[in-house]
Amino acid sequence: MFYTDLTEEEKVELAKFVEVLKVPKHDYVVREGEEGDAMFIVKSGWLEIQKRIYEDNTKPLKQLSEGAIFGELSFLGAGQRVADVVALEDSEVLKLTQEGMQELNENDAGIMAKLYRNIAVDLAAKLHNTTTELRTAVYYAIEGLDA
């Protein structure tokens, strides 16, 4: 989970700088192509990351549960959202904006440092998984096999 290394006191402090969003089943939290400056932490429920392959065709990429994060690329300044995130059931997410992170830094830089470290660890794991999947896809494409 994204925030497991935070103490209870740090979680209480972090809660001052996030917005809790209730997301009904089938509603989107973010849409591919939108501009964004916030990241999200799943508080409860199940969500799914979906990538548009064609105009009306999406591919499910990953399901997210409590403690998972998403939207960190836009949060870190990469611009537009790269995928849709939709609730598979009624869910709650914590929304942390860049402005909220700056305010948190001014109040408790230690929490902010832990959050950035957790973002880096999460992104590294996602990059590793993507690299492995890409390597497999390229192998099957070269070999002419159907993955």
Lookup result for tokens 């959202």: 81
Percent above pLDDT 90 for the chain: 52
CATH fold of 8-143: Jelly Rolls (2.60.120)
How confident is the prediction for the chain on average, in pLDDT? 90
Residue 24 DSSP symbol? -
Question: Structure pTM?
Answer: 0.84
Name the residue ranges covered by the structural domains of the chain: 8-143
37 or 79, higher pLDDT = 37
Residue 113, burial from CB neighbour count under 10 angstroms (0-12, 13-18, 19+)? exposed
Q: pLDDT-based confidence at 141, cuts 50/70/90?
A: confident
Residue 42 belongs to what H/E stretch?
Answer: strand 38-44
Considering just the CA atoms, what is the radius of gyration of the chain in Å?
A: 17
Task: Give residue 137's pLDDT.
Answer: 83
